[in-house]
Structure 1
Amino acid sequence: MADDAPKQDAPQTPVPPKMQVLGQFIRDMSFENILAQKGVSGEVQPDINVEVALDAKKRPTDNQYEVMSKYTVSSKNKAGGEQLFLLELEYSGIFQIENVPEEQLHPFLMIECPRMLFPFVRRIVSDVTRDGGFPPLNLDTVDFLALYRHELERRASAEKEGQPVS
């Protein structure tokens, strides 16, 4: 037997996942300064609410995916409940992802990719709220892992009850 033949028992070195951000962009954005339009009397104490929705889809090119995140940021006056502003932002990133096992791809797309985009979203929200006449809003860090787990639980619960999963 030749010594230069590959050994079957030798463990293969795992190939680390590879992710590259190919591009990122604002897909859609809307900012309404309702305070300036309607006015609010008395003291203004903002109550901020942030909602995050995520989606991902395969692109025609091998190993490329588009990850979309939608942020809805609303502010109401604590005193009277009047709407102060509403910001809707859809932000997307194009990713080249390699060496991620198929069963781990969905969590990777819905957790790691939005995490990479989040600092840019935070900056946009801060700039838009400042330019819209309010103090700059610095979003708290989003826990994308908890968001992912919550969505899995919601879908499992909806399936159990026989409701369509959207």
Structure 2
Amino acid sequence: MADQDDTPVFQIQRMYLKDLSLEQPNSPQILLEQQQPQVDINLAMAAGGVADGIFEVTVTATVTTKIKDKTLFLVEAKQAGIFEIRNVPQEQLQGILSIVCPQMIYPYLRAIVSDVCTRAGFPPIMLTEVNFQAMFEAQQAQAAANGSASGIITSAN
């Protein structure tokens, strides 16, 4: 067999739902309320190495809906992907993990959040489109301002 060349490799190994949670802590009483709930949506992203050239990237959405000070429902969904990325310069790797991979994962996350809300008996929550490039650039600028050199977001799962 011939020696492996240095051709860049980018492949999706698997997409999967890593974690999903739905809570309705004040049901059924709060379901009788007629007020429009306040909706708060937070997104988080993480990337880390799994093995040589194999990376897991996760995008997490946390949706909290409240009426006054009481939670109507809370959905947290974490969609993940395992990607094979080899022979790519380090400065490009950070962009791939922080922009390209999340862009591939996010549509699955949007569908899951909408579906869970509907199945729970609420109108679907439609997550808006996200500009992962702008998020990455903002994180890079913040890291530079803080004197940190790392652009890859890592977390302990």
TM-score interval (norm. to shorter)? 0.7 to 0.9
The question of 1:32 aligning with 2:23 is answered yes
Report the AA paired with residue 145 of structure 1. Q
Give the 3 Å change call, closer, same or farther, for CA 158–43 of structure 1 in structure 2: farther
Q: C-alpha separation between the residues in 1 aligned to 2:65 and 2:100?
A: 28
Range with greater deviation from structure 2 (121-130 or 68-77) = 68-77
Q: Which amino acid aligns with 2:54?
A: Q
Deviation at 1:91, TM superposition (A): 1.7
* TM-score, normalization by structure 2: 0.78
Structure 1 residue aligned with 2:94: 106
The ranges of structure 1 where at least 4 consecutive aligned residues each deviate by more than 4 angstroms after the TM superposition are: none
* 1:73 alignment partner, one of 63, 69, 82: 63
Computing the radius of gyration from Cα coordinates, the structure with the larger value is 1
Query: Would the alpha carbon gap of residues 39 and 112 (structure 1) be closer, same or farther in structure 2, given more than 3 Å must change?
Result: same
Aligned equivalents of 2:134, 2:53: Cα separation in 1: 26
For the aligned residues, what is the CA RMSD? 2.3
Residue-pair matches, total: 143
Could you list the runs of 5+ residues in structure 2 that have no partner in the other structure? Answer: 1-6, 149-154
Gaps in structure 1 of 5+ consecutive residues: 1-14, 161-165
Shift of residue 99, structure 1, vs aligned partner: 4.6
Counterpart secondary structure, 2:27: helix
- 2:37/2:72 contact within 8 Å kept: yes
CA distance in 2, matches of 1:116, 1:59: 19
Equivalent position amino acid for 2:142 in 1: R
Larger relative contact order, structure 1 or 2 (CA cutoff 8 Å, min sep 6) = 2
The C-alpha deviation readout for 1:113-162, integer Å capped at 9, x for no partner, is 010011111110011011111011121112211222222233334449xx
1 CA distance for matches of 2:129 and 2:9? 24
Matches of residues 85-164 of structure 1 in structure 2 within 5 Å?
A: 85-159=73-147
Amino acid at match of 2:61: Y
